[in-house]
Copies of this chain bind each other. A is one copy, B any other.
Amino acid sequence: MSIQKTLQRILQMIKERDTNLQEFFATLHPSDFAEIVADLTDEEKKELFALLSDEEAALVIQEMEEIDQVVLFQLLSKQRASAILKEMSTDDAADLISELPAKDAKELLTLIEEDAEEIRVLLKYPEESAGGIMTTEFIAFPGAMLVEEAIRRLREIATEAETVYYVYVVDEETRLSGVLSLRELISAADGTKLSEIMRRNVISVPAEMDQEEVAKIVSKYDLLAVPVVDNRQRLLGIITVDDILDVVEQEATEDLYRRIGATEIEHVNLMEAPVASIIAKRLPWLIITLFAGLVSGSIVGAFAEAIQTVVVLAMFIPVIMDMGGNSATQASTVFVRGVAVGEIKKEEQLRYFFREARVGLTMGAVCGLTVGLAAALWQQLPVLGLVVGAAMFATVTVGTVVGTLVPLFFNRTGIDPAYGSGPLVTSIKDATGLLIYFSIASIFMRYLT
């Protein structure tokens, strides 16, 4: 059944106060359920959630967009909201609390009592750090525990933990000493101690690590979850692979947005964000581009006399600008992506730069020859072909080099190189391209008239 049809059927059932409603929900995945909720009116949402148990409500809310979660929570009584919060996993609960108005957040934290401490701890970490995305619901056993005892305990607590697929082994001070996958555990012989079969070489991440780094590690080692530790190796929480998938998507979006200058429109659905907030994110970069464009214009202005004498020179302004821009964008995109996916390592950047320089020189030569020939034939003026061709060669080469150098420099100084693909590179390549073009034209001026 399509989402649309399901929605219509639910609306009908709500209207008729149909008692089969709850049964019907049980057949829906929480994720599909969450999509339907997003399309309901506030009144309908209220009626719907009144029919759900706290646990069911928690499962659905965890799958909703953060902005929708906040809206929904403000429709519920504080009593109900806190009961649902208790059923949510601690990482999702902490994320939601951090988005609520401070007053509501404080009140809810008081109401949920025993779980509040864990959530307060999670709220201390930056949102995009390992600590900020971890959950505290993991399974840790002492090394002396026997395999059969561990399996028995697992069968009891399996429904509470975020993932049962890794069992962590800790010492008396909760320091991480080993790990066992559930698969290793169930295939081990009874009577064995966990410490005898655990892997001691545990891959873990510090709580301060950026989520993008965490994603790289999980992806590299094909983990289902990675443990998060403090600086004394004490186990604080775990990050599961489903959250890592979200991180990878989120980071890809951020990279793309940085490339167009728009700072991230974080945690806000594109269709729901007010138009004014979208403009506020994008307009500043257009204004910067505008003034950079005027700087390029003043370069054209400096050669006004030349243009007035040989007006045909103005005709090649667009192609010089386009080509400088396109070659710079190509170069920066490939470099930024190469760094992001780990194909270009820090120690290889210089070598990469020289490869790009060769690419730029070759492409510059081909484009220069092409446009030079085209210009000479089009305007029946061989010297013009020489001027435009030489300028094109220089522009494409410089574009490729600058397009690589700016993000490379950003990367070295710790700025996200994705910013380097945007308006800044555009401005630099425009100004240099036009300067090269008109300087060459000036030199050959007397042959052009």
Contact = CB atoms under 8 A, between A and B. Distances in A.
25 contacts: A29-B221, A31-B220, A158-B184, A158-B187, A159-B187, A165-B182, A186-B186, A241-B245, A244-B245, A245-B248, A253-B341, A261-B326, A262-B330, A271-B355, A279-B362, A287-B367, A289-B322, A290-B367, A293-B322, A293-B323, A297-B315, A301-B312, A301-B314, A314-B314, A321-B321
Contact of A286 (B286, B323, B427): B323
A201 interface: yes
Contacts of A371: 290, 294
Interface string A17-51: 00000000001010100000000000000000000
Interface of A: 27, 29, 31, 151, 154-156, 158-159, 164-165, 182-184, 186-187, 201, 203, 218-224, 241-242, 244-246, 248-249, 252-253, 256-257, 259-262, 269-271, 275, 278-279, 282-283, 285-287, 289-290, 292-294, 296-301, 304, 307-308, 311-312, 314-323, 325-327, 329-330, 333-334, 337-338, 341, 343-344, 348, 351-352, 355, 358-359, 362-363, 366-367, 370-371, 374, 378, 392, 396, 423, 426-427, 430, 434
Contacts of A333: 256-257, 259-260, 262
A91 to B, nearest CB: 13
Given A271-B351, A301-B315, 7 more contacts: A31-B221, A182-B186, A219-B242, A260-B329, A292-B322, A293-B318, A321-B321
A297 B319 contact: yes
Contacts of A184: 158
A49 B347 CA distance: 27
A23 to B, nearest CB: 14
Contact of A186 (B151, B270, B338, B359): B151
Contacts of A186: 151, 154-155, 158, 164, 182, 186
Contact of A334 (B27, B262, B355): B262
B312 A311 contact: no
**Main SS at interface, chain A:** helix
Nearest to A289: B326
A304 B314 contact: yes
Contact of A253 (B294, B307, B337, B396): B337
A359 B252 contact: no
A164 B183 contact: yes
Nearest to A184: B158
A292 B430 CA distance: 17
B358 A275 contact: yes
